[in-house]
Structure formats: structure tokens, C-alpha cells
Amino acid sequence: MIQQIDRLIAIAQDVNLLSEAAQLSFIKQRFSDENCEMILPLVGEFSAGKTTLINSLTDSKQLETATKPTTATIYEIHFGCDSCYAEVYNEQGEKMRIEDISSIKNEKLGDSVVINVFDTAKRLPSNIVLVDTPGLSSEDPRHKQTLIDFLPNADGVLLVVDVNQQITRSLTDFINMMNLARRPVFLVLTKCDTKATTELEDTKHYIAENCKLPLTRLVCVSAAKGDTEELYELLDGIHAEKGKILAQVNEQRLNDIVKVMVEHIGELLKTSSSDKDLEDAIRQKEQELKKIDRTITRLIEASEYDIESEERNTERKFQDTVFERLDVIAASKSNNFNAEAISAINNTASICLNDFKNGVEKIIADKIKEHNIDDGITFNSLQGIDMSQLSVSSLSYDLDLDSIGHEYDGMIATGVKVAAAVAAVTAVVATAGGAAGAVGAAGTATEVGAGAAELAMDAGGVLEAVDIASDVGNIVSNQRHISRVQQAVSFVGQASEQYNNINQVNANAGNQVGAKKGLIEGMVGFVTDKTWGKPQRRRAIREYIDGTLAPQFKVAMSKNSRKVTDDIAELLYEEAQVSLAEKKQALETLQEERKQKKESYNKRLEVLRDYQNELLTL
């Protein structure tokens, strides 16, 4: 078998199938080493209990069990070691040893791609390697891609399923897509302590009858309760049949590689009978590339149209929602309208952006299903599109809802206090026999403070002044009366002592009720907010949304849509052109050999035919 693999490696290298040559070298190493490790990844949805289960099998029990998907890192757990430690490898292949495994935090792993965890537990065979993989339900496409890249190395699969959730359609579809159903699949039901014995038996029977996967064996565990005996028995049985399992798996791998090599060499021979055939084949490949390019263009245009539609829906939803929320705030009694408005705007923008991302993900999934292209173009790259950079961060806020409708509060409050002071002076002058002159001098102020002449200069008088604040507010709301109030203020010079006394009593009264301003000012603010504040705030909000906020949100969402569309185009073209470029390069190499040396070219064709015949007899 080793000689046969060596021969396959030589053929693969000669026809430039370097990826297949590397896979063959891996298989050869496994055939050569009787003590080679057996790779068993734990695959399942996030929160199925994979990490908790692994911790229950180790002595260190220090792997972090995250509350949310945070890393695309692969953890390989090795048992029977002399001490507990970890080796962290980053994307550059650099290794760092960590003695305290508990210090490894998923959110801080950065570009780490593989972590080898070494544990002293002796219960499991040392050549059984369990692999903790990212959960399938993670929203981060990097997590799924990491899993896809690793799983071809698996010798079997421990399918970990929460007994309360059972096997989902997405899980079975993923196993079949990755051809893992051709490996031994062992089902591990976790959290079995949450089920009664009879209920658990019914569940096991139901899964066995309805599961679409060829399960080799089903076991039940409860890591939280330390009940893992069935899993130990399963792993012992796997180890006992290790040689048989590895032989079957490696044979499957070899058959798959040989099939690829035969197809590749057959294509080379089919298109290499002459110079003209080669040139025609190259032109055909170029036409195929153009055809795929047109198909991709149509896919991009269709995606762009749907994404723009999703963008418009998001903009309408944002505008309607933010108006409703700001309208409620404008009609409320608040100590800080601006803070509540800013919070509502940012929160609404964040929710609408997340809805847009979810809509785009569905659009991409639908487009992949609708457009099926041959020549090995799978469009799986679109599943890794990164939308984490999409944002709505340029929204400005130029309102001052706290001051709208209260522009004349100070003037109104001053008018009330002036009216009270003037009325008091008028009463004193009238008592002294000079009432006519005083009233004449204070005619304007008396109009402003109608009824204020009866006020006394004490706390009771100030409270009565508050009662007429509404009437004063109505007077001062008219520009003519504002001028009259300003004239009346000049009369304060004749009533300064009374005005100051009223002002002091007003401030004291405000302090007594816990206000930061005088009682008259507070009452005036209440009246003006009810009369002018709410309508003016609503009008200002509508003008702000129509004139500033909605256009800015539209610009931000347009940028997001363009970025997603550009990323889709880049990924599609990259995936398609790489595939066809490899085929074109192989044909051009043969054509160049034909031109340079016909004899050598003919020998090359003979070699390819020999390779083909040799592979077909394997």
C-alpha cells in the first residue's frame, strides 16, 4: 500500500495536482505509523455541550465554556500526557506554550487557529484525539469556514446533540454536504439528566427510527452529573477497532483522490490531440470564463436589486419608527428631552441595521440556490462574506428639545413679578392720595399684571401671582404685549424694593418644593410647555427627521449596500477565475511543450495515457 501511495504522489506531482499530492502524503504517514492518532471531532450546534463534555473527560477541566460563539479556533485534546499545558499556533505557524490552560480566553485568541491541549487523564487511549470545534449555529461565517477546512481530517465524527433539541435539519444537511456520512458517525446525546428514564428511551428510539444519517452507535451522557460511562465505553470500542476504521477511511480518501486524478488526466488527453485541439480547448475555456462572468454579472445585478430594495425598506422602517419614538418623547414630561431623543435615535438605527444584515444574508442564500454553475464553482465563498464593518455612525443631532417653546419663560415670569411689584406700589401711592399719578405711570404694567394689585408682598402673594401666570403667558405671547411688558419693566425702578422682596419670596418658595428655579418660573414653564412646547417640539422633530436625520441615514445605508454588493462581486469573481485559471494553465503548458518539442510532447501524451490506465486499474 505504501508503494502504491508513493506512485500516486509521483503522478499527482507530475500533472500539477499539488493539493492531492499533499493529501496522499498525509495518508501515507498514517499507513506507516501503527500508533498514529485517531482524529474524532465533536460536531454540533452551539450550546450542545461539546466543551463541557470534553472538560468532564480531562483532569484539568479548564477549557472555557463560552456563553456565546466567540472564536473560530480548533482545540485538539491529547490525553495521557505527563502534565497539563497548551500549545497555541497562530496563522503564521508560530507556537506559544501556555502552562495555565484556564488563562486561555476565547475572546482574546486573535488570529490563533489551532490550540493543542495536553492533559494527564489516563482513562482514554493516548492516540485518541478529541477535537472541540466551533458551533454550527454561530453567526460568524469564519467559524463555519474553520470547521469546513478541518473536517476532511476527521477519521470519525462524534455528533453532539442536546437531548432537548434533538437533530436539526441544518445539522444533517451539513454532515451530508461535507461527505462526513461516509465516516463512522457516533451520536452523543448530552444533558440526559433532564429526561426521565422512560422519556429518554422514547427519544433514543425516535432518533434511531427517523435519523437520516447512518449512525454507528448512540450513547447518552450527562457531563454536569459526571455520567459519561457510555461515552468511555464508546471510545474504548472505537480504539479497539481503530485499525479497521482507519483502513476504511483511508481507502475512501484514496478513492476520492484517484477519481479526481483520472478526471484531470482525461481532460488533458481529450484536449491535447494536436496544436489546433489545444488552441480550440483554450478558446473554449475562455468562452466558459466569459459565460461564467456573464452569469456572475446577472447574479450580482439581481443581488444588488434585492439589496437596494432591502435598503429602502430599512430606511422606511427607520424613519417611521424613529418618528413614533420621538413623538412619544415630545409629548411626555421629561427632565432631559435631548438625552432621551439621542438614545432613541441610536437604538433604532442599531436595530434597523441588524435587520438589514439579516435580510442580506437571506438574499445571498436565496441567490446561491437560484444560480447553479458547473465547472466546480460552488459559490461557497459567499457564506464567508463579512458584514461586521457595516455601520450607521454619521447621524448628527441638531435639536434642542429642552428649550423649544420656552423662549419667553423668563420674560413672562419677570412680567408677573413686575406686575405684582407695581400693583403694590400703586396701592401704596393710592393710599397716600397719589393714586392717579401712580396708576398713570404704571398703566402698561397694570395691563400685564391684571389682578396683581391685590397681591401682598409675602409667600401667599407669590402663590397668587402663580395663579395668573397663564393669563400673563397669553398676553406676552403677543408681540405687542411683549413690548408693553418691556416698558413695564422700567417701572421697577420705582418699585425696586417691592420687586426684590417678591423675587426673594419666589425663590424661597421654589426651594421649599425642591425646584431649581423660582415657583413662578416653574409654573410659567408648565403653562408654556403645555401651550407651545409640545406642538413646537413635534414640528421641530418632523423637520429634523425630514431635513437631516432621514437623509443622513439614507446616505449611510447606501454605503452599506454598496459595500455588500462590492464584496459579493469580489468573492464571486475570485472563486470563478481561480478555478478556470488552473485549467487554462494546464492546457497552455501542454501547448507550449507541443511547440517547443513535438517528440517530447508526444512522449508526454503517452505518459498521460499510461497514468490514466494505471489509475483505472487501481
pLDDT single digits (tens) 369-412 = 766 555 555 666 776 688 888 999 878 888 887 776 554 455 55
Structure-model confidence comparison of residues 224 and 518, the more confident one: 224
Q: Quick one: CA torsion of 538, 542, 547, 549, rounded to 10 degrees?
A: 90
453, 439 in Cβ contact below 8 A? no
Max avg pLDDT among 473-482, 533-542, 563-572: 563-572
Please check whether residue 477 lies inside any domain of the structure.
no
Signed CA dihedral, 502, 507, 510, 512: sign only: negative
Cell numbers for 575, please give them: 472563486
pLDDT band at 116 (very low <50, low <70, confident <90, very high): very high
How many domains are contained in the chain?
1
CB 120 within 8 A of CB 82: yes
The CA distance from 290 to 319, in Å, is: 43
Q: What is the mean pLDDT of the chain?
A: 76
> What type of residue sits at position 413?
A
Residue 96 in any domain: the answer is yes
345-349 contacts: CB < 8 A, separation 24 or more? 345/395, 345/397, 345/549, 346/395, 348/318, 348/321, 348/322, 349/318, 349/322, 349/392, 349/395, 349/553
Report the predicted TM-score, pTM, of the whole model to 2 decimal places: 0.48
266, part of any domain: no
Quick: pLDDT tens for 506-551. Answer: 555 545 544 455 545 555 445 545 555 578 788 888 888 998 999 9
Q: What pLDDT was estimated at residue 438? A: 41
Average pLDDT for 169-192:
79
Give the model's pLDDT for residue 71.
Answer: 61
Q: Which one of 391-400, 454-463, 469-478, 505-514 scores highest in mean pLDDT? A: 391-400
Q: What is the largest CA-CA distance in the chain?
A: 138
With contact defined as beta carbons under 8 Å apart, do 360 and 313 qualify? no
Say which CATH number the domain at 174 has.
3.40.50.300
Alpha helices in 453-549 (DSSP H): 459-467, 469-476, 479-489, 496-512, 519-528, 534-544
In this structure, is residue 194 part of a structural domain?
A: yes
Q: Are 159 and 188 in contact (CB under 8 A)?
A: yes
**Residue given cell 432518533 in the structure block:** 207
Dist. CA 538–CA 162, nearest whole Å = 52
Q: Would 258 be classed as within a structural domain?
A: no
Listed in sequence order, the residues at least 6 apart from 484 whose beta carbon sits closer than 8 Å to its beta carbon are: 444, 447, 448
Candidate ranges 48-62, 465-479, 491-505; pick with highest mean pLDDT: 48-62
Q: What is the pLDDT of residue 593?
A: 64
> Containing domain of residue 202, as a range?
37-245
Whether 170 is in a domain gets the answer yes
Q: What does the pLDDT average to over 554-583?
A: 82
Inside any domain, residue 251 = no
According to DSSP, the β-strands at 157-162 and 185-190 are parallel
Summarize the confidence of residues 582-589 as an average pLDDT.
Answer: 72
Beta strands per DSSP E along 37-93: 38-43, 74-78, 85-90
Tens digits of residue pLDDT in 311-343: 999 999 999 999 999 888 888 777 788 888 899
Does a structural domain hold residue 476? no
